[in-house]
Amino acid sequence: MEQKKILIVEDEASLLRLESILLTSKGYHVKGVTSGQAALEVVEDYAPDLVLLDIMLPEMDGFEVCRRLKSGAATCHIPVVMVTAKKCPEDIERGMAVGADWYIPKPFKSAMVLQTIRRFVET
């Protein structure tokens, strides 16, 4: 079976490392970037099967990254899962409005992240 690719967009280095180790240990190919602009620069070449996207990022927030991904012809099909500390109803509503496929509030349980990824990439 082909290895599924996950793009993690997370500006907190320790969390990016933790998520990368977790997903790599479960057999996913992982690429991590620390800004919204970097995510947009690598997404077409990397062609991920799913994007794990933080909202509070330098340069460009996750809402704008998601909006751009979902409005691009080459990237609109990629599931975007927002993983963020911004969890008030307005933030969740805004995330869904810009095209997020799912929303996981921080702190999160690893099992929840893995279950969500499987739901989108293994169907």
The CATH number given to whatever domain includes residue 83 is: 3.40.50.2300
Q: 103 Cβ partners below 8 Å, 6+ apart?
A: 81, 82, 84, 87, 92, 95, 96
At residue 123 the predicted structure's pLDDT band, cuts being 50, 70 and 90, is low
Cβ atoms 122, 79 nearer than 8 A: no
State the total domains in the chain: 1
pTM, two decimals, is: 0.94
Name the more confident of 86 and 71. Answer: 71
Whether the predicted pLDDT of 26 surpasses 90:
yes
Q: What are the tens digits of pLDDT across the range 94-109? A: 999 999 999 998 878 8
Structure tokens given for 5? 């690719």
- Which pLDDT belongs to residue 88? 84
Structural domain of 22 = 5-121
Q: What are the tens digits of pLDDT across the range 63-82? A: 999 999 999 999 999 999 99
Average pLDDT of the residues of the chain: 93
Name the more confident of 80 and 89. Answer: 80
